[in-house]
Amino acid sequence: MTSTTLLVLIALAVAGILLYRILGPAEAWEGAWDEGTLSSLKRRRDRILRALKDIEQEREAGLLTGDEFERLRSELRREGAFALRDLERLRAVRRSWLRRPGGAITPSVRRRIDELALARRKEIVS
């Protein structure tokens, strides 16, 4: 093998690695761009937090034994960790799409982002 062929092979390997790093592996969350997915994940998180508060009140009222409370709390905390992980994954994918050149920012998406940001600002000021 000549040195030129070897250099071409090395250059192709480096280009392949760079393309893989830039484009990255397909993420299961990439199709989850709609607002409904984000809302459902937030509702799931909120249901779990509410359930944690409920079992705390039930324990204080004497409706749950210490063992029952610990078991339920452990299950809910595990589910909460999964819910937070899923929510963060979706947010990370959304951020990565926003950073990609020519990615998912179309004029309609940009308008929707601006509308949501304006609504959020009004919410905070009120």
Q: How far is CA 37 from CA 28, 30, 80, 109, 112, in A?
A: 13, 11, 17, 16, 16
pLDDT at 73: 92
Mean pLDDT lowest among 23-27, 46-50, 105-109 = 23-27
Domain coverage including residue 87: 3-125
CA 32 to chain centre: 10
Q: How many domains does the chain have?
A: 1
Residues sharing a CB contact under 8 Å with residue 84, sequence separation 6 or more, in sequence order: 45
Per-residue confidence band for 29, with pLDDT thresholds at 50, 70 and 90: very low
| 98-112 pLDDT, tens digit each | 666 666 566 777 788
Mean pLDDT lowest among 20-24, 46-50, 76-80, 114-118 = 20-24
